[in-house]
Amino acid sequence: MEELINSLLEKTKKAKDKYEVLNQQISDPQILSDNAQWRKIAKERAMIEDVALSYDRLNNMYNEYLLCEDEYHKETDNELKSLFYDEIGKLKQNLEELCEEIKILLLPKDENDDNNVIMEIRPGAGGEEASLFCNVLSNMYKCYAEKNKWKYEILDLSETELGGIKAITFLIKGKNAYGKLKYESGVHRVQRVPETESQGRIHTSTATVAVLPEVEDIDVEIDEKDLKIDTYRSSGAGGQHVNKTESAIRITHIPTGIIVACQDERSQLKNKERAMKILRAKLYDFYREQRDKEYKENRKSQVGTGDRSERVRTYNYPQGRVTDHRVNLSSYDIESVVNGDIDQFIEALTIKDRAEKLANA
């Protein structure tokens, strides 16, 4: 244990020293006048804060343990010796628990965990039934946001004539929103009897969920010369709510071929702002994959960012069961799940992700 504690003390001391430097920098008038630089330093400080503050806790507890051991060996009175022995046992247990806590804190963090999240849901296989399932999923995340007192805001929505969803993009604002919802990325499968099925046969349909962190302008540089912006008249399902003005926006990022569109607002300016928000998130994700080869390889092995083509969860209505295939966890209360009760899956996925990282640390 001594070797582990000394190693953790060394690592947490480095974090504490860095934290103190960042504290000085964040109060520097020159940095205070540069909003982008200040935000960058504040974000870096927040990421190491827990590790930095754990140094004093570990150092004080370890010194107390060593002092107790020293007194135990010096003591000649059997009764006092027994008291020191008991205290040493308690301190040793507390030290072991604190070491495990710090080992988790030292694991590589996703710098975007505290960010807001942009989610995009599209139907996969299954036609209109898949589009209707998209409705279920978008409502599930809306309810989950409400349970966490987060803000849910639709950025773009395209509906079918029967009330399904062709595509929906929405923003969820809240502390650690991306850190929790990033596990939802992938293919969600539903098994149920569609309302249009006269013979009661169970159909299987799918929907794809993409989860992206909302990023700041400073995180992604976009050259206006690389953008092709088209305007057109927005319309609802079956031609409803047709705008007489060309308020809808379609933006193509020429170097990557990424296309985003927004028609939910009546104002062209607001649609452009929302489309740029989505584009920044998609470009950030694209460049992150390009920049980090290991990231692309790990997408398929780590539950934290799973491949979007991977089947992650099945919602079986006849059996009232929801199963997450990555952790082999099932809930038999499908109504609660589709009404936002998904913490059980998120917690299990977080634990599995953490265990994998600890094993590879």
Residue 264: predicted pLDDT: 73
Residue 235: predicted pLDDT: 61
Phi, psi at residue 178, to the nearest 5°? -70, -40
Q: CA-to-CA distance for 159 and 168, rounded, in angstroms? A: 8
> Of all residues in the chain, what percent are helix, strand and coil, respectively (each to 5)?
50, 20, 30
Q: Which amino acid is at 142?
A: K
Instruction: Look at residue 76 and give its three-state secondary structure.
Output: coil
Instruction: Give all strands of the β-sheet with 186-192 in edge-to-edge order.
Output: 151-159, 165-173, 117-123, 203-213, 186-192, 311-316, 321-324, 329-331
Q: Which amino acid is at 256?
A: T
Structural domain spans, the chain = 2-105, 117-216+304-360, 219-291
Structural contact between residues 320 and 331, judged by C-beta atoms closer than 8 angstroms = no
Topology of domain 219-291 in CATH is Double Stranded RNA Binding Domain (3.30.160)
Residue 15: predicted pLDDT: 93
Q: Which amino acid is at 356?
A: E
Q: Give the long-range contacts of residues 286-292, CB within 8 A, separation 24 or more.
A: 286/256, 286/258, 287/220
Question: Between β-strands 186-192 and 258-262, what pairing exists: parallel, antiparallel or unpaired?
Answer: unpaired
Q: CA-to-CA distance for 325 and 308, rounded, in angstroms? A: 14
Report in angstroms the alpha-carbon separations of 278 from 168, 258, 268, 328: 12, 11, 15, 32
Q: CA-to-CA distance for 127 and 118, rounded, in angstroms? A: 25
Q: Which CATH number fits domain 2-105: 1.20.120, 3.40.50, 1.10.287, 1.20.58?
A: 1.20.58
Q: CA-to-CA distance for 169 and 262, rounded, in angstroms? A: 9
Report in angstroms the alpha-carbon separations of 188 from 122, 141, 253, 318: 10, 13, 28, 17
CATH of domain 117-216+304-360: 3.30.70.1660
Name the H helices within the chain. 2-26, 29-32, 35-74, 78-105, 127-147, 177-181, 268-291, 293-298, 334-338, 343-360
Round to the nearest angstrom and report the end-to-end CA distance of the chain: 17
Report in angstroms the alpha-carbon separations of 300 from 100, 185, 297: 27, 12, 6
Q: What is the pLDDT along the chain (361 residues), one digit of tens a residue?
A: 888 898 899 999 999 999 999 999 988 888 888 887 888 888 889 889 999 999 999 999 999 999 999 998 888 888 888 998 999 999 999 999 999 899 888 887 788 888 999 999 999 988 899 999 999 999 999 999 999 999 999 998 989 888 899 999 999 999 999 999 999 999 999 999 886 666 778 889 999 999 999 987 667 778 889 999 988 876 654 444 445 557 889 999 999 999 998 887 778 888 898 899 899 999 988 887 776 655 445 444 444 443 455 789 999 999 999 999 999 999 999 999 999 999 999 999 998 988 888 877 6
